[in-house]
């Protein structure tokens, strides 16, 4: 199956009241005013999205590798997506406290681009490994799904709904642990008792209530978790069809069909997570605590898991050469991604900001590498 594309409804973002789509957006003081693109050697394109690319970069100062997400401001503003980008940044700031979420080291801006300097996680996308092996044995799938559930539970504890869990957004680190990435569709401020209604996500993994355009809560993430578990065990999402309309109809109306090759406890979890009525779905009453208590995870010591003491069932063969990254990205050159145009070189310092991206720039207080 080809890589899934997500989509989002820009209705959550207000129009840019000043009509500012200029490259020379006034960007505001940064927590790291010396950070600039020329601090890095940009090596390869390792990801691509609607607003820009993710590049493997080596910091010249110390030789450390990072994944740098470079976003085009003009595209973001034209599509009224600035709130989504700022939400992504806000979520990344909170991720450093959890072992299975990608961390943000700092962010900075130039006149035309936004830069997220992130952990470089070089074990490859789960999508890459699943495509290569077609299915995973149940113990391996259980390990991954437990770490994913832990990450989602942490986000939910911060009143954040992730909304885009899929194998392409799940990386493996050098030891084989899960690292969740890409927080562009996250919604902040959604507690267990609150809902949102934006139609967004990836078609194969949309929960029925999202398709019906009904108000929904964080239980949509547990639907996605069930979809990913099903895909790891059987090779395709549970209601997949090449015809999108047929797939949507399957999600809304087709019963979950049992297939051979999974244990009874795995089927019990799948049925509980892929419950079409979100109010009866596992996790609807006590969120992550319900997931942890399911018999499928009876062998999991959650404290050990979250301290990374449980040995991963698979260790990637790690090289900095991004051999586990999707080749459609790694074949691209970085010149146009970073855009070392005359304008960018002259203005490759962090500028003062207007309201569009106010507060984007960030550097942890302890990071004095550029001071």
Comparing 329 with 269, the larger pLDDT belongs to: 269
Residues 305-332 have a mean pLDDT of: 70
Residues 38-52 have a mean pLDDT of: 87
Long-range contacts of 241-247 (CB under 8 A, 24+ apart): 244/203, 247/203, 247/204
Q: Is the pLDDT of residue 362 over 70?
A: no
Comparing 32 with 266, the larger pLDDT belongs to: 266
Q: Is the pLDDT of residue 226 over 60?
A: yes
CB 69, CB 45: distance < 8 Å:
no
Comparing 333 with 199, the larger pLDDT belongs to: 199
What mean pLDDT is reported for the chain? 80
| pLDDT value of residue 358 | 55
pTM of the predicted model as reported, rounded to 2 decimal places: 0.79
CA distances (Å), 172 to each of 49, 177, 232, 272, in order? Answer: 19, 5, 14, 26
Q: Hunting for tokens 């962090």 — which residue is that?
A: 350
Q: Residue 56 pairs with which residues in a beta bridge?
A: 44, 67
Q: Is the pLDDT of residue 24 over 50?
A: no
Q: What element of type H or E holds 303?
A: helix 302-306
| Angle 205-210-215 from CA coordinates, rounded to 5° | 145
Burial (Cβ within 10 Å: 0-12, 13-18, ≥19) of residue 333:
exposed
Residues 7-27 have a mean pLDDT of: 40
Count of all residues that appear for the chain in the document: 371
What is the rounded (10 degree) CA torsion for 13, 18, 23, 27? -80
DSSP string, 189-224: S--TT--B----B-GGG--HHHHTT--B-THHHHHH
Q: Minimum mean pLDDT among 94-98, 135-139, 222-226, 328-332: which range?
A: 328-332
Instruction: Give 242-290 pLDDT, tens digit per residue.
Output: 999 999 999 999 999 888 889 999 999 999 999 999 999 999 999 999 9
Gap between the Cα atoms of 48 and 334, Å rounded: 12
Q: Is 69 annotated as a binding residue?
A: yes
| pLDDT value of residue 363 | 59
Gap between the Cα atoms of 23 and 109, Å rounded: 11
| pLDDT value of residue 187 | 86
DSSP string, 47-93: EE-SSEEEEEEEETTT--EEEEEEEEHHHHHHTT-HHHHHHHHHHHH
DSSP string, 247-277: HHHHHHHPPPPP-TTS-HHHHHHHHHHT-SS
Gap between the Cα atoms of 330 and 327, Å rounded: 5
Structure tokens at 4: 């899934």
Residues 75-86 have a mean pLDDT of: 82
| pLDDT value of residue 273 | 98
| pLDDT value of residue 93 | 80
Highest-confidence range of 176-185, 233-242, 310-319, by mean pLDDT? Answer: 233-242
Gap between the Cα atoms of 268 and 227, Å rounded: 14
Q: How confident is the model at residue 152 (pLDDT cuts 50, 70, 90)?
A: very high
Q: Is the pLDDT of residue 16 over 80?
A: no
Q: Is the pLDDT of residue 325 over 60?
A: no
Q: How confident is the model at residue 82 (pLDDT cuts 50, 70, 90)?
A: confident
Residues 140-159 have a mean pLDDT of: 96
CB 229, CB 218: distance < 8 Å:
no
**Positions marked catalytic:** 164
Highest-confidence range of 12-16, 30-34, 312-316, by mean pLDDT? Answer: 312-316
CA distances (Å), 2 to each of 59, 127, 204, 205, 366, in order? Answer: 33, 10, 11, 14, 42
Q: Residue 161 pairs with which residues in a beta bridge?
A: 187
Question: Number of C-alpha atoms within 13 angstroms, CB side, residue 318?
Answer: 13
């Amino acid at each position: 199956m080809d890589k899934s594309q997500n989509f989002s409804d820009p209705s959550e973002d207000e129009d840019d009241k000043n009509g500012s789509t200029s490259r020379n957006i006034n960007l505001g003081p940064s927590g790291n005013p010396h950070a600039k693109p020329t601090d890095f050697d940009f090596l390869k394109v390792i990801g691509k999205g609607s607003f820009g690319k993710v590049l493997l970069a080596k910091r010249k100062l110390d030789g450390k590798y990072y994944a740098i997400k470079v976003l085009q401001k003009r595209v973001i503003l034209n599509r009224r997506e600035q709130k989504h980008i700022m939400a992504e940044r806000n979520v990344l700031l909170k991720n450093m406290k959890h072992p299975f979420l990608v961390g943000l080291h700092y962010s900075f801006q130039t006149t035309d681009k936004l830069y997220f300097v992130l952990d470089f996680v070089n074990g490859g996308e789960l999508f890459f490994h699943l495509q290569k092996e077609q299915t995973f044995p149940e113990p391996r799938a259980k390990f991954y799904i437990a770490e994913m559930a832990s990450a989602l539970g942490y986000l939910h504890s911060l009143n954040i709904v992730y909304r885009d869990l899929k194998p392409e957004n799940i990386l493996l680190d050098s030891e084989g642990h899960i690292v969740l990435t890409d927080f562009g569709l996250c919604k902040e401020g959604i507690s267990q008792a609150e809902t949102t209604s934006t139609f967004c996500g990836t078609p194969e993994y949309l929960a029925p209530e999202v398709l019906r355009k009904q108000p929904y809560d964080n239980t949509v993430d547990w639907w996605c978790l069930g979809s990913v578990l099903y895909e790891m065990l059987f090779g395709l999402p549970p209601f997949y069809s090449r015809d999108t309309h047929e797939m949507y109809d399957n999600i809304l109306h087709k019963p979950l069909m049992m297939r051979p090759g999974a244990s009874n406890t795995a089927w019990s979890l799948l049925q509980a997570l892929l419950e079409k009525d979100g109010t009866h779905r596992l996790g609807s009453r006590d969120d992550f605590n319900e997931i942890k208590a399911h018999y499928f995870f009876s062998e999991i010591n959650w404290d050990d898991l979250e301290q990374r003491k449980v040995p991963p069932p698979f260790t990637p063969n790690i090289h900095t050469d991004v051999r586990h990254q999707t080749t459609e990205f790694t074949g691209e050159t970085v010149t146009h991604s970073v855009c070392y145009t005359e304008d960018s070189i002259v203005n490759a310092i962090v500028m003062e900001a207007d309201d569009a991206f106010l507060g984007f720039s960030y550097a942890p207080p302890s990071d004095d590498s550029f001071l």
